[in-house]
Amino acid sequence: MTIGKVVGNLWSTIQEPNFAGTKLLIVQPLDIATRQPTGNTIVAVDVAQAGPGDIVLIVYEGSSSRLSLNNERTPCEAIIAGIVDRIDVPA
């Protein structure tokens, strides 16, 4: 898992049927230590009711992502699993 910032959302009318009812957000992964953007943009299914600008917990791995969706047949490998309140990294 890693953290990221919600930078946008997208609309899709024609999609794989198992995605029906899901909310897709555009997320920029962040370096946990520096909080700077790192890596490539991810499109993730939101199961945590996140919104614009939120720092979120991203699960970017197949089977664990699907398990948190109501429909395990959704072909999705990326989800937003939580909204981060605070990050403590003791020096």
Partner 1 sequence: MFMGRVIGKVVMTVKDESLEGARFLIVQPFNHDGTLPGPPLVAIDVVQSGPGDTVYLVKGREASMPWINPHCPVDACIVGIIDQFHLDDGGVTPPGSTGAVA
Q: Which helix (H) or strand (E) holds 83?
A: strand 79-83
| Residues 11-50 interacting with partner 1 (rule: CB under 8 A) | 11-16, 18-19, 24, 26, 28, 40-44
- Contacting residue, 3, 47, 69, 77, with partner 1 by CB under 8 A: 77
Q: Is 78 one of the binding residues for partner 1 (CB under 8 A)?
A: yes
Q: Report the C-alpha gap between 14 and 55 in whole angstroms.
A: 29
In sign, the C-alpha dihedral spanning 43, 10, 21, 23 is positive
Residues near partner 1 (CB under 8 A): 6-16, 18-19, 24, 26, 28, 40-44, 52-53, 62-63, 66, 73, 75-78
